[in-house]
Structure 1
Amino acid sequence: MMENVERKSNQTHNGTQSCMTNTSLDCGKSRDEVLARIEVAVLAAIFVAALVGNICVLAVLLKGRSTRTKSRMQFFIAHLSIADLTVALFQVLPQLAWDVTFRFQGPDALCRIVKYLQTLGMFASTYMLIAMALDRYMAICHPLRTLQQPCHRAHAMVATAWLISAVFSAPQVFIFSLQEVDPGKMDCWADFVYPWAAPAYITWITMVVYVVPVLLLSASYGLISVEIWSKVRSKKHTHHAQLHRLEGGSRELSRVSSVRGISRAKMRTIKMTLVIVLVYVVCWTPFFTAQMWSVWDHNAPGEE
């Protein structure tokens, strides 16, 4: 779930102001209380599921820490869970409170901080998936390179994901501020000086959160699938010849298990490809389609 991106523009002498809230309300008007209750219930369910689920994942990972057998994937999954917890605590929870109170309750500084943290978790969760995909691509398609300080590379990739997320979230601090939406009523609003700024910003968000990640995930897991298929076919052709030259049943059994193991890995990778890419696309496509439609089509349906 992305932070406030739906737009209602009001032309003023200072430029274009946009009410970018997830509460599906028109700026300065009363809201639909039935819809508000539904939104609160949905957000509460999402918050509980995200909080409990990711805490359980982290608990399982921390419980086995003493074994010193942590893989790079476990390291990535831990940071993915942390990113998802950031989404739950700093994106879903503030939006839940916002839906309950209707108007933002807090000073201008809190408004900017909340908006920054809402996108930070979203970016971090997205780019952690990309880091995991790139790590799997390197491990399977370029295995020799993984032998060269694999842990250092994993730490660098995770640090880069968090750094990019922090930088990409920075515009929120300058775009959002506490503004008077009605006489005596304040709310956390986005302020775009130029009419083209809001469509440009939402298009940029769409590219860096949806379009580019989907392309990278699809390319990475697609190449992984092709590589595994080619390795399995190659080993099947050479396997019978190798068995005749091997001495000792244990070595023969080891080779057979290896081939079967790669075959199982191939199927798991293909399934993981479908799950990650399809779920990501299914979850984000309706949202970003609606967002792009709302800012680029002046005849798009409003929220009245």
Structure 2
Amino acid sequence: MVTCILSSDGNRSSASESNTTGITAFSLPGWQLALWALAYLFLILMALTGNITVIWIILAHKRMRTVTNYFIVNLVLTDTCMATFNVAFNFVYASHNIWYFGQAFCHSQNFFPIMVMFVSIYSMMAIAVDRYMAIIHPFQPRLSALHTKVIIGAIWLVASGLAFPQFFYSTITVEEGVTKCIVNWPEDGKVKLLVYHLTVIILTYFLPLVVMFVTYSMMGVTLWKQVVPGNQLVRVQQRQRHIAAKKRQFVKTMVAVVVTFAICWLPYHLYFILGTFRQDIYCHKFIQQVYLALFWLAMSSTMYNPIIYCCLNQRFRSGFRLAFCCCPWVTPSDEDKLKLFQRQSMLTIHKNHNKMSLSARKASFPETPNHQEGDLGFQLPSKL
């Protein structure tokens, strides 16, 4: 976090402060360290529990294995990795300004956050584009499972390339007996560093958010203005209204995810933009508290998505009830099991019912054309 070893208000730390004592000018008092440790521990436990549960809900139930949900798995996987491999180690480093974990982990610690942040937001963008095509262009070919895997692989590959300079220039330094993990750009690389930071922020934050804002705005306008023609049968009207309602609910869910991500990460990005122009801010004691707060806010985005899915999506809510059925206050119902396990049988029942209903309608209403039968129900599922 800190690139200098000055104490608060510009006073220099004593040269006797060494790595062996575990004390620097940026070491926190015990009570502050305990409070921050509890806050970060809570974040890690919530993120791991929620995201692993979401992965289980999707991968363990065939009904949930859709193109959109594969992108969601990719998203929650990056959140899980971030909570597991980045939060705790960065907290230890930020709370003492001493690097304890060696050269190899120094490389990965600077490389990993940028990579997973890129993967997270581009997984969200892929979901937005996929839903945009399904809602705005419903008769265009949809992504296959193979194409979905190729896109996910490409996202990880581009993310690795974007984060590689952080990996390449990471190094361990010892300043006045204090070991630090820094990204040591070349002496003539100040302009390159600024360009790189701005490129990362644009590619991992502003550009994807603009794309998602446009796509979700267009989807919202289309869905909220959607009207079922009045001359259709009541059953068909109800069915199409139900489909439109599910799609609107999905849009609400993903908009909540995107807005949460944007709010959590914006202060963190602004912090590093300011630090690029004013590196002296890193030499003040107060900046440690600022960084810990901003880093916690950014990392907290890893624990909010499962909460959003559970609150706004019925199937995920059913999945969470099944996952935590051992808890005395959680009682899954038969309907919860039906939503996750009975895909094929339910589809068969609905198809048979629709065939019988269609035959009856043709006999009763011979003037009704075939294409008025609600053809969106199973071809364009709007579920997560």
TM-score band w.r.t. shorter chain: 0.7 to 0.9
For residues 198-247 of structure 1, the C-alpha deviation after alignment (integer angstroms, 9 at most, x for no partner) is 433332222122211211211121122233245x13x3xxx223x3xxxx
Asked which structure has the greater CA Rg, the reply is: 2
The corresponding residue for 2:211 is 216
The corresponding residue for 2:182 is 189
Q: How does 1:260-279 map to 2 (within 5 A)?
A: 260-265=241-246, 267-272=248-253, 274-279=255-260
Change (3 A) 1:223 1:201: same
The corresponding residue for 1:49 is 46
> What is the letter of the counterpart of residue 185 of structure 1?
V
Change (3 A) 1:117 1:294: closer
Shift of 1:264: 1.0
The corresponding residue for 1:17 is none
The corresponding residue for 2:76 is 81
For residues 40-64 of structure 1, the C-alpha deviation after alignment (integer angstroms, 9 at most, x for no partner) is 3322221111111111112222331
1:224–1:269: 8 Å Cα contact kept in structure 2?
no
* DSSP 3-state at the match of 1:179: strand
Tell me: higher relative CO, structure 1 or 2? Use CA pairs within 8 A at least 6 residues apart.
2
Shift of 1:72: 1.4
Counterpart Cα distance in 1 of 2:3 and 2:99: 17
* DSSP 3-state at the match of 2:190: coil
> What is the letter of the counterpart of residue 183 of structure 2?
A
* DSSP 3-state at the match of 1:169: helix
* DSSP 3-state at the match of 1:144: coil
Residue 175 of structure 1 pairs with residue 156 of structure 2: no
Unaligned stretches of 5+ residues in structure 1: 11-27, 244-251
Change (3 A) 1:142 1:152: farther
1:137–1:224: 8 Å Cα contact kept in structure 2?
yes
Counterpart Cα distance in 1 of 2:178 and 2:272: 27
The corresponding residue for 2:238 is 257
Residue 98 of structure 1 pairs with residue 79 of structure 2: no
Counterpart Cα distance in 1 of 2:166 and 2:282: 26
The corresponding residue for 1:20 is none
The corresponding residue for 1:18 is none
Shift of 1:302: 5.7
Q: How does 1:3-18 map to 2 (within 5 A)?
A: 4=1
> What is the letter of the counterpart of residue 218 of structure 1?
F
> What is the letter of the counterpart of residue 63 of structure 1?
A
The corresponding residue for 1:40 is 37
Which one of the candidate residues 255, 263, 286 is aligned to 2:267?
286
Change (3 A) 1:200 1:98: same
Shift of 1:109: 2.4
Q: How does 1:86-165 map to 2 (within 5 A)?
A: 86-99=81-94, 102-147=97-142, 150-165=144-159
* DSSP 3-state at the match of 1:189: strand
Change (3 A) 1:110 1:291: closer
TM-score after normalising by structure 2 = 0.61
1:116–1:170: 8 Å Cα contact kept in structure 2?
yes
> Which deviates further from its counterpart, 269-278 or 287-296?
269-278
> What is the letter of the counterpart of residue 255 of structure 1?
V
The corresponding residue for 1:23 is none
Counterpart Cα distance in 2 of 1:9 and 1:195: 21
Counterpart Cα distance in 1 of 2:204 and 2:230: 48
Q: How does 1:56-71 map to 2 (within 5 A)?
A: 56-65=53-62, 70-71=65-66
1:91–1:119: 8 Å Cα contact kept in structure 2?
no
Counterpart Cα distance in 1 of 2:74 and 2:248: 26
